[in-house]
Amino acid sequence: MEGDHRSFRIALTSDRYVNPPPGELDGLAVLGEAGWGVMQLPPEDYPAELRRSMLVEVAEQAEEFSRRGYDVVLIGDDEGLMDALHAVNTARPAQLVPASEAELLDFLRSRPVPEAAHLLK
Amino acid sequence: MSVAFVAHCLLNQNSKTDGGAACAGVYSPAVDLLRARGWRIEQMPCPELAFTGLNRFWAVREQYDTLAYRRHCQRIAASVAAAIASRVERGEDVVLIGVEGSPSMGVCITSSDPRRGGRPGWPDGAGELTVGEGIYVEELRRELQSRGVGLPRVVGVTHPLPDHDAEAERAALESLLEP
């Protein structure tokens, strides 16, 4: 991994934290500053069938990260995601629905060093 | 509203091939500009990540250009095209941001070498970069055409290219976001 700057940390993140309404918590900014990669969950206003197919893709990618020892967490919530993760035999990730930047940062800082970071760095 | 459909790795550099992550997670030069201009961000899946995994080798178009990989890209493109079409139907301005040099996500520059295969051993700087689209972008274009929607305005981030120029990349992104 020479010259590679990845963090081995992935946050499955509800759309409202990636594209926050004015005055709401800017999760993408916090996650970016903290060095986490973001996998955006589909917006809630898309049709159910489109959301389902988008969650299939999210789950398959999350499965790969999880199986390879990256730390995968869920920021926000999405019941459809749980079904998609279950379909690829991937456990429910640690989850936070943060109300503030401080709460989100505390959660991120509490996470252990990812297994992949030990193996590959 | 204005919506940018962005390559997966712009928000998650962990998806890159080994050696390709330019930063820890979010590629801020592109993301910060989009947000400063008030653009909504929608992340596309990484077509290579779920197909060949995190331990994949660097590869060129010819190594990915199989029926199975195109079917995989078509499945992803169907969802993304549906999302783009719904935005276009609402009269929203849509752009697409890819990754130049990528065999999948390149929009103007991809990588090609018909001789590449077998035991990896190509030197850095091998001349695989060439004008063209990546395989996923081709499939997305086809899927959008089948829905009667043209490919949005496109640009690619250039950080994977050996002659990457941060100022030129920013200028290209700014130009893309002009109405």
pLDDT (tens digit per residue) in B137-147? 999 999 999 99
Instruction: State whether residue A111 sits within 8 Å of chain B by CB.
Output: no
Residue A91 lies in a domain: yes
A46 and chain B: CB distance < 8 Å anywhere? yes
In total, how many domains does chain A have? 1
Q: Is residue A4 part of a domain?
A: no
Closest-CA residue of chain A to B41: A19
* CATH (domain of A43): 3.40.1010
Residues 6+ apart with CB under 8 A from B6: B30, B31, B34, B41, B42, B43, B44, B96, B97
Q: Mean per-residue pLDDT for B149-154?
A: 93
Three-state SS for A5?
coil
Indicate the residue of A10, A40, A57 with minimum beta-carbon distance to B79. A57
User: How far is B10 from chain A, CA to nearest CA, in Å?
Assistant: 9
Q: What is the pLDDT along chain A (121 residues), one digit of tens a residue?
A: 668 999 999 999 999 999 999 999 999 999 999 999 999 999 999 999 999 999 999 999 999 999 999 999 999 999 899 999 999 999 999 999 999 999 999 999 999 999 999 887 6
Domain that holds residue A95: 9-120
Report percent pLDDT > 90 for chain B.
85
Tokens 């499945």: give the residue.
B75
CATH of domain B2-114+128-177: 3.40.50
What single string gives the DSSP state of each residue in B125-147? T-S-EEES--HHHHHHHHHHHHT
Q: What is the DSSP string of A23-59?
A: TS--HHHHHHHTT-EEEEPPPTTS-HHHHHHHHHHHH
**Per-domain boundaries in chain B:** 2-114+128-177
Residue B100, min C-alpha distance to chain A (Å): 18
Residue A88 lies in a domain: yes
Give B50's contacts in chain A (Cβ within 8 Å).
Answer: 57, 60-61, 64
CA–CA distances in Å: residue B97 to residues A44, A52, B41, B85, B112: 23, 24, 10, 16, 21
Number of H helices, E strands in chain B: 7, 6
ipTM value > 0.90: yes
Give the minimum alpha-carbon distance from B129 to chain A in angstroms, rounded to a whole number: 21
The pLDDT score that the predictor gives to residue A121 is 62
* Optimal mutation site among A57, A60, A70, A115, interface B, most CBs of chain B within 10 A: A57
